[in-house]
Amino acid sequence: MLLPLASAWVDIENWAYNAAPVFEVIFIVVMVVIFTLLLRQMPRIKPQEIKPDSASSVGWDDIAGVEHARGELEEVVEFLRDPKRFAKLGARVPRGVLLHGPPGTGKTLLAKAVAHESGARFYAQSASGFVEMFAGLGAARVRRLFRIARKNQPAIIFIDELDAIGGARGNSTNGEKDQTLNQLLIEMDGFANHDSLVVIAASNLLEKLDMALLRPGRFDRQIYVSPPDVNGREQILRVHVRNKPVADVDLAMVARQTSGLTGADLANICNEAAIFAARRGGEALANRDFDQALERVIAGTQSRRVLTEHEKRVVAYHEAGHALIAELLPAVDRVHRVSIVPRGRALGYTLNLPDEDRYLKTREELLDQLTMLLGGRAAEQIVFGAVSTGAADDLRRASEIAGSMITDFAMGTTVAVTGRGSVLDDRVSEQTLRLRDEEREDLLHLARSQAHRLLTLNRPTLEALAAELLEEEVLERSSIDRIVSEAAPARPRIAAASRGSDDEDA
């Protein structure tokens, strides 16, 4: 019985020994097939390397609110259209144009307009599409992109989000990214001749780019694309409502109400207004649609949270405190709307809109801004004798403004405490950091005392605002004018404040 079993076992061992090379070959073949399939799939999970877009339909008529940037790029278009006119005077086409600025200001749209107006071939590529985990692939993609563009001159290469590969070298352990950047530097200003090839790049982080990219010969022109002013916003709104039925809408008023918003924000407002008009069954966009769209974009969507009666009273007095101080201090933007309807993360909001665009503020104007921010918390303290957690965002913003006044604008009593620096910075002493904290606390205390004095002096108006807010939930500009018309004028601004006094003593 045991002999047959032993014989069978020996036969199995002999068969396995003889078949081992076959299994090894099969295993190697399977691994080669899997590796080949992976290599074929890899390019599909990355953005398309080269994407011609010479048929772009975006022209100068679709560009508004960025007149300075458009003027700079129109010269590039003239270079590409008629290079001989410039060549006979010894001028050459700019090698590169860097568009930088906040997100949503129209940098990509400007590049598309240049491609359309110049008639040149257009190759668009996101900078992140050059980055790979395998060494050398990013540099190879850069070489291929420039090689194809040179064969089809005049041509434009557009690289979006340049900071993905253009960051300062030596600050990262990613050698592949540095190698890709080195190849881009060589292609832009190497031995190759490309008189009719322009590189346009866009970035939101100019300060993080490598200095070799920013020198003349590579990105010769650096154009800051800023948020539009009031006239630019009106022009952008008119562009975005061209294909929409619009009733008697005051776009100039909408433009004044959207200070600081970018072209992308304005496009979103127009789209939201169209959605509101469709929701109510309207045939055309009206002023109320734009008001609701502006409220949604700035304050957020309406929340379904239900507040208790006490919470509603606290929110009403809080927002009334903001609104009343904004009306009493002329340096603060006028109140457009006050609401105690929860929206987004806020339980209520006060919408302040400027009458005009302003780019400079004095120390007194910033102090008035701090006073307005702390007005809600001061109203809670005066009416209820306690403060709530609802002022968290106000405190954060007030602390940021007060900190900037000391460290950036030298608006404290001691100029020596200016300049950025952290606790870990050896160039900033502990005494300087302590002086900064003391100066910031002085500013905040000054604003808090001013808020208490103004609200105490105008307590009847505060009560009237809060009462109508509790009844109506939303107050528009006309209602605010009616209630505040009897308010006492603001008292002279406090010259100094002793640190440590309580709000009740203000």
Write down the pLDDT at residue 346.
Answer: 77
The SS3 of residue 400 is helix
Q: Which residues, including other chains, have CB under 8 Å from residue 80's CB and lie 6 or more apart?
A: 93, 118, 119, 120, 154, 156, 196, 198
Element (H, E) at 277: helix 263-279
Backbone angles phi, psi at 51, to 5 degrees: -135, 90
Distant-in-sequence, close-in-space partners of 346: CB < 8 Å, separation ≥ 6: 299, 300, 393
The topology (CATH level 3) of 51-224 is: Rossmann fold (3.40.50)
- Region 198-204: mean pLDDT is 87
* Mean pLDDT confidence for 37-60: 51
Answer yes or no: is pLDDT of 20 > 70.
no
> In this predicted structure, what is the pLDDT of residue 501?
35
Please identify which residue in the block is written with the tokens 């201090």.
329
- Please tell me which residue in 319, 327, 439, 468 is annotated as part of the active site: 319
Q: Answer yes or no: are the C-beta atoms of 464 and 472 closer than 8 Å.
A: no
Look at residue 495 in the predicted model and tell me its pLDDT: 40
Pick the most confident of 53-62, 77-86, 202-211, 457-466. Answer: 457-466
Residue of 216, 107, 202, 102 lying closest to 162 (CA atoms): 202
Q: What is the pLDDT of residue 505?
A: 35
Query: What would be the CATH architecture of the domain defined by 230-299?
Result: Orthogonal Bundle (1.10)
- pLDDT band at residue 427 under the 50/70/90 scheme: low
Residue 311 above 50 pLDDT?
Answer: yes
- Span 212-264, pLDDT tens digits: 888 887 888 888 888 888 888 888 888 888 888 888 888 888 888 887 788 88
Q: What is the mean pLDDT of residues 270-290?
A: 87
Q: The tokens 């109140």 sit on which residue?
A: 335
| Cβ contact 406:370 at 8 Å | no
For the chain, what are the domain ranges?
Answer: 2-44, 51-224, 230-299, 309-505
Distance separating alpha carbons of residues 192 and 233, to the nearest angstrom: 43
Annotation: CATH topology of 309-505: Methane Monooxygenase Hydroxylase; Chain G, domain 1 (1.20.58)
SS3 content of the chain, % helix, strand, coil (to 5): 55, 10, 35
Bigger pLDDT: 440 or 190?
440
Confidence (pLDDT) at 447: 93
Say yes or no to pLDDT of 2 above 60.
no
Can you give the pLDDT at residue 35?
64
- Is residue 422 predicted with pLDDT exceeding 50? no
Q: Has residue 379 got a pLDDT over 90?
A: yes
Reported as a single tens digit per residue, the pLDDT across 437-470 is: 888 899 999 999 999 999 998 999 999 999 988 8
Torsion of CA 462, 320, 412, 331, to 10 degrees: -90
pLDDT at 503: 39
Instruction: Express each pLDDT in 76-105 by its tens digit.
Output: 888 877 777 877 777 777 788 888 888 888
Phi, then psi, of 249 in degrees rounded to 5: -105, 130
Q: What pLDDT is attached to residue 173?
A: 56
| Runs of H (alpha helix) within 88-242 | 107-118, 137-151, 163-166, 175-188, 211-214, 230-240
What average pLDDT does the segment 294-322 reach? Answer: 81
Q: Are 131 and 165 in contact (CB under 8 A)?
A: yes
**Token pair belonging to 419:** 């300049």
In this prediction, what percent of the chain has a pLDDT beyond 70?
77
Q: What is the DSSP letter of 285?
A: B
> At residue 209, what are phi and psi to the nearest 5 degrees?
-80, 150
pLDDT at residue 44, rounded to an integer: 41
pLDDT at 499: 35
Q: What pLDDT, on a 0 to 100 scale, did the predictor assign at position 15?
A: 56
| CA 245 centroid distance within chain | 30
Assign 3-class secondary structure to 38-81.
HHHHHHHHCCCCCEECCCCCCCHHHCCCCHHHHHHHHHHHHHHH
**pLDDT category, 56, cuts 50, 70, 90?**
low
Residues 414, 424: contact at Cβ < 8 Å? Answer: no
* Total residues belonging to the chain: 506
DSSP secondary structure code for residue 436 in this structure? H
Confidence of residue 341 (pLDDT cuts 50, 70, 90): confident
| C-alpha distance from residue 28 to each of 25, 31, 251, 418 (Å) | 5, 5, 70, 67
Q: Where are the alpha helices (DSSP H) in 82-174?
A: 83-87, 107-118, 137-151, 163-166
The mean of the pLDDT values for the chain is 77
Q: Is 319 a catalytic residue?
A: yes
How far apart CA 109 and CA 65 sit, in angstroms, is: 12
